[in-house]
Amino acid sequence: LFAQNCDFIMGSPVLDNLPPADLGEIAFAGRSNVGKSSLINALTGRKTLARTSNTPGRTQMLNFFLLGKREELALYLVDLPGYGYAKVSRSLVNQWTRLMKDYLRGRPNLRRVYVLVDSRHGLKEGDRDIMKLMDESAVSYQIILTKVDKLKKGEQEKVREATEQAIKKNVAAHPEVILTSSVKGDGVDELRASIAALAAS
């Protein structure tokens, strides 16, 4: 699944024109600056796959990539638009919410959404909003803590425990959180294994 190039398929600001739901799909969500582009790049071994440091307020896109080979094992990987920018307008927030609702309800092939959360900050309002949307639309998701290289081992375990405790009542949440660092490589193999299991299922 991760042996070959991960090709960019398309970016779309709307749901009309997405790739056919002919393969399993996983998606990555998170607040802006959480480290989403860096983690997708670390995962796929490419440096230019996802552009880092997106501009707040630019067109919100669903970016589709192909992981693996169609004739063997493959999945769509979707980079969802970041949320939680301090300065975006109400109308842009509404646009994001509409797009997310439609996407989460409109992709029957969606196997899991990985919700990235900065390990130093824990769950924030925007994270809870998207988790609520997924609980309501029965879309399975898993929390990924990012940038754990910024924390000591003991602190990492504390935030893992606190996060697993906090999501206990979220019906569609996977009970285990994954700790990652794109800089040090922590958790990347664990995340790949999790994705590979979804591709095979």
- From the list 18-26, 36-44, 61-69, 99-107, the region that binds ligand GDP by CB under 6 A is 36-44
Largest pairwise CA distance in the chain: 47
Q: Which is nearer to ligand GDP, 24 or 187 (CB)?
A: 187
Q: Which residues pair with 11 in a beta bridge?
A: 63
User: Which stretch, 9-17, 46-54, 69-77, 120-128, contacts ligand GDP (CB under 6 A)?
Assistant: 46-54
193 Cβ contact partners less than 8 Å away, ≥ 6 residues apart = none
Quick one: residue 185, left, alpha or beta (phi over 0 = left, psi -120 to 50 = alpha)? left
Element (H, E) at 144: strand 141-146
Interacting residue with ligand GDP among 18, 25, 44, 54 (CB under 6 A): 54
Binding segment (CB under 6 A) for ligand GDP, from list 11-19, 48-56, 105-113, 128-136 = 48-56
Q: Does 60 bind ligand GDP (CB under 6 A)?
A: no
Which residue, 53 or 201, is less far from ligand GDP as judged by CB? 53
Rg (the chain; Cα; Å) = 16
Question: Binding of ligand GDP at residue 53 (CB under 6 A)?
Answer: yes
